[in-house]
């Protein structure tokens, strides 16, 4: 199974997770338990494809969510 990189839309946390082939996989964010995550496809290509999506104002990647 391939490993994909995901990014949480809520807190901006990036993480990796296994993606079962042929299925829509929606892991939860390990940091804030949010389910608004999007898959990042730039892991193997070396070229950022979705980095243009700037995080929302007030969203601090890696910052404490509490
Ligand atoms: Zn999160």
- 27-36 mean pLDDT: 95
Query: How confident is the model at residue 35, as a pLDDT?
Result: 94
pLDDT tens figures, 4-13? 889 999 999 9
Q: Where are the domains of the chain?
A: 3-40
Q: How far is the CA of 21 from the centre of ligand 1 (A)?
A: 24
pLDDT band at 64 (very low <50, low <70, confident <90, very high): low
Which residues, in sequence order, are CB contacts of 27 under 8 Å at separation 6+?
6, 15, 17, 37
Which residues, in sequence order, are CB contacts of 14 under 8 Å at separation 6+?
5, 6, 7, 8, 40, 61
Contact 50, 40 (CB under 8 A): yes
Q: How far is the CA of 10 from the centre of ligand 1 (A)?
A: 5
Q: Is the pTM of this model over 0.85?
A: no
Query: How confident is the model at residue 26, as a pLDDT?
Result: 79
Q: What is the dihedral of CA 14, 18, 21, 24, to 10 degrees?
A: -50
Q: How far is the CA of 54 from the centre of ligand 1 (A)?
A: 15
């Amino acid at each position: 199974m391939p490993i994909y990189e995901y990014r949480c839309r809520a807190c901006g946390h990036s993480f990796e997770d296994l993606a079962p082939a042929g299925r829509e996989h929606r892991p939860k964010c390990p940091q804030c338990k949010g389910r608004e995550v999007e898959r990042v496809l730039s892991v193997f290509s070396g070229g950022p494809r979705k980095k243009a999506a700037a995080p929302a104002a007030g969203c601090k990647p890696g910052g404490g969510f509490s």
